[in-house]
């Protein structure tokens, strides 16, 4: 890889290679071994939207590989505040660094940046479009926790219209042969173009429902996401949906014994906090897998 822009740029063999490299990196971390793969290399993190987990995990991954990190969030950048155009920003930053990780609110920005930059670009989220390192982390989490992806009943639940983690995840899970159910409030379903693309490419059986209760019963994996309140014109409507569409302890009474719940975080009410301490909650394990996966990605783009 020179860049990591979209999960659609990768075939299943390339994804498997990244997952295998991630497992190698996880072993290195468990053995407390020191790596110098990135010694003398600098990662630039350019976040035009706020981030906690993605930014910190890329920082941790780079440092654990022996490299260093610099960067900004848009609120910290005087150049952005002054109106500097994106091309000039990238052309400047690439003179200071060896890899650039970028998050931007506008769809397609990461692809554009990859075209103008001579350095490897990693997309850390472009609007509601793609977040490929998160998708790879999610695939790795499912494979580690369930032993496989193919044939699993996997439920994607929440704001499927706006959440950037869900679209590439649905696509890649279909690539691996999972059985998919999409559960969302009315009006927050996946768009038909995505569903048609998945059906055409992978011949995947998919179920769409607005009933959160029925979706959970047969699940091997429930992957929940928050209602993307910041992408709503009507904040009251978003808050109403946040309260009505959530996983509760009562809902898990009919769940499979080995079912797991994943979440890209932050949680803001869509998973009842009392579930955090149950055997079903695996989202904090999922967060930890972000380090070896992003270590693998960085080592493969440089």
Question: pLDDT value at position 1?
Answer: 67
Kindly tell me if the per-residue pLDDT of 51 is higher than 60: yes
The residue-averaged pLDDT of 220-228 equals 88
Give the chain's domains with CATH numbers: 7-130+290-301 (3.40.50.1370), 132-287 (3.40.50.1370)
For residue range 158-200, list pLDDT tens digits in order: 889 888 899 999 999 999 999 999 998 888 899 999 999 999 9
pTM of the full predicted structure? 0.92
Categorize the per-residue pLDDT at 50 as very low, low, confident or very high, splitting at 50, 70 and 90: confident
Kindly tell me if the per-residue pLDDT of 267 is higher than 80: yes
Give the residue with greater pLDDT, 234 vs 91.
Answer: 91
Question: pLDDT value at position 147?
Answer: 96
For residue range 98-145, list pLDDT tens digits in order: 999 999 999 999 999 999 999 999 999 998 889 999 999 999 999 999
Question: pLDDT value at position 45?
Answer: 96
Question: pLDDT value at position 146?
Answer: 97
For residue range 193-208, list pLDDT tens digits in order: 999 999 999 998 899 9
Kindly tell me if the per-residue pLDDT of 14 is higher than 90: yes
Say how far apart CA 201 and CA 119 lie, in whole Å.
32
Q: Where does residue 36 rank: exposed (0-12), middle (13-18), buried (19+ CB within 10 A)?
A: exposed
Categorize the per-residue pLDDT at 218 as very low, low, confident or very high, splitting at 50, 70 and 90: confident
Question: Is the Cα dihedral 8, 9, 11, 12 positive or negative?
Answer: negative
């Amino acid at each position: 890889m020179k860049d990591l822009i979209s999960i659609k740029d990768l075939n299943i063999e390339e994804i498997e290679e990244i997952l295998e490299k991630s497992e190698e990196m996880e072993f290195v971390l468990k053995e407390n071994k020191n790596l110098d793969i990135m010694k003398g290399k600098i990662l630039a993190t350019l976040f035009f939207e706020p981030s906690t987990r993605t930014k910190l995990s890329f920082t941790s991954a780079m440092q654990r590989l022996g490299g260093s990190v610099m960067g900004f969030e848009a609120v910290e950048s005087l150049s952005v505040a002054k109106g500097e155009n994106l091309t000039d920003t990238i052309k400047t930053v690439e003179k200071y660094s060896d890899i650039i990780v970028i998050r931007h609110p506008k769809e397609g920005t990461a692809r554009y940046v990859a075209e103008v930059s001579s350095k490897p670009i990693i997309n850390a989220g472009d609007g509601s479009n793609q977040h490929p390192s998160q998708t790879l982390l999610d695939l790795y989490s499912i494979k580690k926790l369930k032993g496989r992806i193919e044939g699993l009943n996997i439920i994607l639940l929440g704001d499927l219209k706006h959440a950037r983690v869900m679209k590439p995840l649905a696509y890649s899970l279909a690539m691996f042969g999972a059985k998919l159910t999409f559960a969302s409030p009315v009006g927050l379903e996946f768009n038909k173009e995505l569903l048609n693309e998945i059906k055409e490419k992978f011949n995947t059986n998919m179920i769409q429902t607005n009933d959160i209760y029925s979706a959970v019963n047969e699940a091997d994996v429930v992957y929940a996401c928050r209602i993307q309140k910041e992408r709503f014109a009507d904040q009251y409507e978003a808050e109403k949906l946040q309260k009505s569409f959530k996983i509760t302890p009562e809902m898990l009474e009919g769940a499979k014994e080995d079912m797991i719940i994943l979440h890209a975080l932050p949680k803001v009410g869509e998973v009842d906090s009392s579930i955090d301490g149950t055997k079903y909650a695996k989202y904090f394990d999922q967060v930890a897998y972000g380090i070896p996966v992003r270590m693998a990605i960085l080592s493969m783009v440089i």
